[in-house]
Amino acid sequence: MSAYFNEMYDTGAVRPPYARLRDWMDAMPTELRNLKQAEAEALFRRIGITFAVYGEGGDPDRLIPFDMFPRVFAHDEWRRLERGIKQRARALNAFLSDVYDRGEIVRAGRIPERLVYLNEAYEKAVAGIRPPKGVYSHIVGIDLVRTGPDQFYVLEDNCRTPSGVSYMLENREIMMRMFPELFRSNRIEPVEGYPELLRRTLASVAPEKCKGDPTVVILTPGHFNSAYYEHSFLADLMGVELVEGQDLFVEGEFVFMRTTQGPQRVDVIYRRIDDTFLDPLCFRPDSMLGIAGLMDVYRSGGVTIASAPGAGVADDKAIYCFVPEMVRFYLGEEPILENVPTWQCARHDDLKYVLSNLPELVVKEVHGSGGYGMLVGPKSSKEQIEAFRAKILEEPEKYIAQPTLALSTVPTFVEEGVAPRHVDLRPYCLVGERIELVPGGLTRVALTEGSLVVNSSQGGGVKDTWVLAE
């Protein structure tokens, strides 16, 4: 483990952000730790925090593993991350605004035309439409990894409907219930303001046709969706209605919600369904999840859809390679946060390098997510590597490759006691009239020793994320 940066220890000494946790950790006997872990699990079960793993037999709902050892950032560490995240969110929104209009970045030769306009996430149906306030991606989840005291890298961008924020909030709630003394002895920035911040952000991008206070709703595919708990959780905390497609209808230039008091006009739809299901008259005609005629209302400026249809082209893994260039092109600034070095298999020289170095690389599908469709070379067998080689050769444009980063570790409670485990971080950046984010995010942890895959669908767990106040 010595090759990895341990966020708690620096050459044997405890790093300042974790100073108060050392005594807490040492003073907790195994019996108490086991008791508290069982208590946390019982709380998660009682609240109903589960996620679904598709393709599994039986009941797909699982309890996400929760680790009680918090991850801690010093105030100045977080401020630098915050600046970098906001910068990236601005650049991504500028890119979306551009490629659905004049496409200046493509004309300037900074991004290959085919990567944008032939991308399956590029929605021609919304080209030329300017969303209210010019915002395309309202909730940007930026996945970050750390490799050293000052080394942070962006692993990927999530501009459509990044999930997991309910875990950020519930992790904090459970930690405060179980260890109130920790919060009395540490000055920790709060995250519980997120739902109100999200509601304000969404209300701030209401269309011009909105008169009075905007009506905001969350559109869910329904209770069979893997993130349904989060949809209902956020609707409850925001004080807005959770709706399915059948609860909404289009009449004239507006969208309405069916209520017991009669139709109510809807101004902002925070959609948690994919573009292709939004409107059967515009996208998939067999969609039972969307609202017929929704896109006509959207085009005419009668409703805001958050995030905007077509925003997914900005979080494609091939487009990801060009985000630093977007920062320079649109903002005239140098990127605060670096990308992970990336090889695009669609390029001849990159493909040659990747095929020659597969055992050392991580290879991902350009449109993949959730830890699926990827090869972690150092952890794979010769057979797995050769099978993946054949897939890459068949369709090289579908893959990118990255070096296997030495992800930082955070102390984690395991059966043997406390041990370092690899982590990543997903902060949630809200983009409306202002760009804001709460101090913290979702820390995911690879609970298996040596594993670098933190996704919950692949056996990862979650931790509370602390940002210390000044």
pLDDT for 52 equals: 54
pLDDT at residue 370 greater than cutoff 70: no
Q: Provide DSSP, 26-68.
A: HT--HHHHHHHHHHHHHHHHHHT-EEE-TT-SS--EEEPPEEE
Exposure b/e, 299-327, CB count within 10 A at least 16 = b: eebbbbbbbbbbbbbbbbbbbbbbbbbbb
Mean pLDDT of 275-294: 95
Instruction: Kindly give, in sequence order, each residue whose CB lies less than 8 Å from that of residue 32, ignoring residues fewer than 6 positions away.
Output: none
Convert the pLDDT of each residue in 298-311 to its tens digit: 999 999 999 999 99
369: confidence class by pLDDT, cuts 50, 70, 90: low
Convert the pLDDT of each residue in 72-129 to its tens digit: 999 999 999 999 999 999 999 999 999 999 999 999 999 999 999 999 999 999 999 9
Domains of the chain: 9-339+405-467 (no CATH), 343-403 (3.30.1490.270)
Identify whether the C-beta of residue 219 lies closer than 8 Å to the C-beta of residue 470.
no
Give the single-character DSSP code of 188: B
pLDDT for 57 equals: 45
Convert the pLDDT of each residue in 220-234 to its tens digit: 999 888 889 899 999
Rounded mean pLDDT of the chain? 92
462: confidence class by pLDDT, cuts 50, 70, 90: very high
Mean pLDDT of 342-370: 89
Mean pLDDT of 248-258: 97
Mean pLDDT of 373-384: 87
276: confidence class by pLDDT, cuts 50, 70, 90: very high
**pTM for this entry:** 0.93
pLDDT for 457 equals: 66
Instruction: Give the strand pairing for 399-403 and 409-414.
Output: unpaired
Give the single-character DSSP code of 250: E
Convert the pLDDT of each residue in 42-66 to its tens digit: 888 887 665 555 444 444 566 788 9
Say how many CA atoms lie within 13 Å of 86 toward its Cβ: 13
